[in-house]
Amino acid sequence: MNDRSAVKTPAAATAAAVTAPRPPNRTADARGGRTTRGAARGSGGWTPWLYLAPALLVLGGLLVYPIYQLGLISFFEYTQAQVSGGEPATFEGFGNYGRLFGDPQFWQVLLATVLFAAACVVSTLAVGCALAVLLTRVRAVPRLALMLAALGAWATPAVTGSTVWLFLFDPDFGPVNRMLGLGDHAWTYGRLSAFFLVLLEVVWCSFPFVMVTVYAGIRAVPGEVLEAAALDGASQWRIWRSVLAPMLRPILVVVTIQSVIWDFKVFTQIYVMTNGGGIAGQNLVLNVYAYQQAFASSQYGLGSAVGIVMLLILLAVTLVYLRLLRRQGEEL
């Protein structure tokens, strides 16, 4: 059977090809899409910086410029004579840093500062994380009471808190010695006991930040994850080590870096509780040492050099810590 309707002549095929709709030009569309996105990206590339400009200006005025002045003074002989205008400032280059690194007391103070700051950071993180877990286990009323007490300690000025702790451990009128039966034991006379007393005060005023931050992170963890770990028979320590700590690692990074910076720069507690650094400077830390060099001895250039060294140490510690986390695959 010859079906003529199924056979197309060349003329009919040409007409059908002309009248049929053409497929979209994917290459042109793709190029056009890329061009449009590129134009949008180019036109809006400066928008985030415009929003950040006011904050960057404030940070530049309050942070960058003082650091610049501190570094500039550290290269000059800058004493009371130069401050009063009696003598011109003399450029010494790295002379202040040479005298600083050649002073055996500086290295002793640096070692004491590192050890004291490390003990404060570890103790603060341990107390803060333990109380954060405890907050998730108690009822509403005890949790509210603990939160208020912690926030009260956090809001107490450092001078006030240091004075209160001195009274608590006072050898004559303090209640701690009476409760422990230590008689008239003077905590601030011994080097280690004085550092221990200051450590207690530093942890007392610092742990609320860690506690509140970690508690907020724990509350954000899905309850099903914790319930599954408990059903598997995991203890509270195992849940924290294997479940909570890995999930809270970005938060723990923040509180650790903040604690390192705060505890490495401790000044008020040491100065108030040890009366300026202890007997014969036995409880000096770098911040108090810089204060003595700059203001007690009027060696402002040398004190500025101590400040720059502290800044570089903190930057190095922070960068090394972040680099180690990046090597472990953490997103920062």
Burial 10-38 (b: 16+ CB within 10 A, else e): eeeeeeeeeeeeeeeeeeeeeeeeeeeee
Given this model, what pLDDT does residue 63 score?
85
Name beta bridge partners: 76: 91
Q: Which of 8-12, 293-297, 326-330 has the highest mean pLDDT?
A: 293-297
Given this model, what pLDDT does residue 330 score?
58
Mean pLDDT, residues 220-247 taken together: 84
Q: How far is CA 178 from the centre of its chain?
A: 38
pLDDT digits (tens, 9 = 90+) for 25-50: 544 444 444 444 444 445 467 888 88
Given this model, what pLDDT does residue 303 score?
92
Measured torsion, CA atoms of residues 268, 273, 275, 276, in degrees rounded to the nearest 10: -30
Q: Which of 9-18, 135-144, 196-205 has the highest mean pLDDT?
A: 196-205
Mean pLDDT, residues 261-265 taken together: 91
- Is pTM beyond 0.85? Reply is no
In the block, residue with structure tokens 């034991």: 185
Among the ranges given (68-72, 228-232, 292-296), the one the predictor scored with the smallest mean pLDDT: 228-232
Given this model, what pLDDT does residue 81 score?
82
Mean pLDDT, residues 161-167 taken together: 93
Average pLDDT, the chain: 83
Mean pLDDT, residues 178-198 taken together: 90
How would residue 230 be classed by pLDDT, with cut points 50, 70 and 90?
Answer: confident
pLDDT digits (tens, 9 = 90+) for 234-246: 888 888 888 888 8
pLDDT digits (tens, 9 = 90+) for 81-130: 888 777 888 888 899 999 999 999 999 999 999 999 999 999 999 999 99
> In this structure, are residues 68 and 60 in contact, taking their beta carbons and an 8 Å threshold?
no
